[in-house]
Amino acid sequence: MTVNYRLGAMGFLAATGLDEETKDGVSGNFGMQDQQAALRWVRANIGRFGGDPGRVTIAGESAGGRSVCTQLASPTAKDLFRAGIVQSGAYGYCAARTHKDAVSQGAAFMEKLGCASPACLRGKSAKEILAAQAGFDWGPVTGGDFLPVQPFEAFEQGAAARVPVLNGANQDEGRLFAFSQFDNDGTPLTAEQYPAVMRAAFGERALERYPLSAYPSPTIAYATAQGDARFACPALRLDDVLAAHGQVYAYEFADRTSPPFASLRNLNTDFDFGATHVNEVQYLFKHFGLHTPLNAEQRILARQMVQYWGSFIRDGVPRAAGQPPLPNGREAVLSLRTTSRGGNNVSTTVHSEHQCSLWTAPPSQ
């Protein structure tokens, strides 16, 4: 099942006046608390639908994966689930906003609406709220009972939920975002622009690690750095810290022949998206309710992935008939590929392939 929860300002506004109305004195976590309310409903009612309240798995991709990451670290989520699936959700090391920063952002948002207090906001229409919330960083807040410390700090301390976790990212996460930034507007990144763009975004060392000569285009070179920094290396770091205190199963979706997901297929472009962000979802679900044009090999990979995910949800261990097991997150992942591209195999080189010695920062940073 899926659940609805509040987003944007309605789900994550933090303000001094709102702090006083919360149980733990820290506002800004309303959307995440909606998720926990839904999980409590599931625990109370799942038996009526033939389910087992002791075998609930939470799963999400991208922002949904970030939600799972946050719920794993939340003490108030204790006993609401017995396993978690994080797909491309460890970006930014699952970091939440500090209470100070969240309240500062809340004050700027209220000023934009001409309000001096949350009471004033209650007189604004939903249309006004939605128009004003653009450009702000909405997300969970640390400091209260819901999230006392940053998720990675909780993971390192062994203070997070000790449940099995299936975690991973896609090989070419950054290509979607780089395409949106450059090529989608008809302005592909050029070789002349590349050094300055890389230095501005990632620094001189990144420019040295990602020489333009090693990639088919400047956009893909930039996308590789972006994907490694934002998604791949944080996911691998999450594997490492979770494995120190519990069971984690690590994967990387690496089908570079995968068709672009639904909203990209109608674009008039020959851009090579590879195994980019979101592309694995259509191997597990009917994405957006639409048919995905998988070829015969991709359909086989899709069935294998459904078996891995399905068995993890069923009994906490991902398995697929005739396929290798997923590693436990210590220096290795299961690379998911079609047969002609090597098939599913355990990779011990993912950290070096994604330049993680450059990108993996301590979770406190």
Nearest to 56 by CA among 77, 73, 76: 77
Mean local confidence (pLDDT), 333-357: 97
How far, in Å, CA of 73 to CA of 105, rounded?
23
Nearest to 16 by CA among 95, 116, 133, 142: 116
> For residues 24 and 251, which has the higher predicted lDDT (pLDDT)?
251
Question: Which one from 62, 104, 311, 353 is the annotated catalytic residue?
Answer: 62
* Phi, psi (rounded to 5 degrees) for 335: -85, 120
Question: Does the pLDDT of residue 365 top 60, yes or no?
Answer: no
Q: What is the mean pLDDT of the chain?
A: 95
Mean local confidence (pLDDT), 319-339: 94
User: Which residues are paired to 253 by β-bridges?
Assistant: 170, 336
How far, in Å, CA of 190 to CA of 29, rounded?
42
When pLDDT is cut at 50, 70 and 90, the band that residue 141 belongs to is very high
Mean local confidence (pLDDT), 278-303: 92
Given this model, what pLDDT does residue 267 score? 87
Of all residues in the chain, the percent with pLDDT exceeding 90 is 89
Question: Does the pLDDT of residue 256 top 50, yes or no?
Answer: yes
Question: What predicted TM-score, i.e. pTM, was given to this entire model?
Answer: 0.95
* CATH 3.40.50.1820 correct for 165-359: yes
Q: What are the boundaries of each domain within the chain? A: 8-53+100-157, 165-359
Find where tokens 């799963």 sit.
59
Question: Which one from 61, 156, 173, 280 is the annotated catalytic residue?
Answer: 173
Give per-residue pLDDT as tens, 196-208: 999 999 999 999 9
Question: Does the pLDDT of residue 64 top 60, yes or no?
Answer: yes
Instruction: Indicate if 258 belongs to the active site.
Output: no
Question: Does the pLDDT of residue 363 top 70, yes or no?
Answer: no
Given this model, what pLDDT does residue 290 score? 80
Burial class (CB in 10 A: 0-12, 13-18, 19+), 346: middle
Question: Does the pLDDT of residue 364 top 80, yes or no?
Answer: no
Supply the Cα-derived Rg of the chain in whole angstroms: 21
Instruction: Indicate if 62 belongs to the active site.
Output: yes
The most distant pair of C-alpha atoms in the chain lies apart, rounded to whole Å, by 63
Given this model, what pLDDT does residue 286 score? 84
Given this model, what pLDDT does residue 21 score? 87
Given this model, what pLDDT does residue 361 score? 63
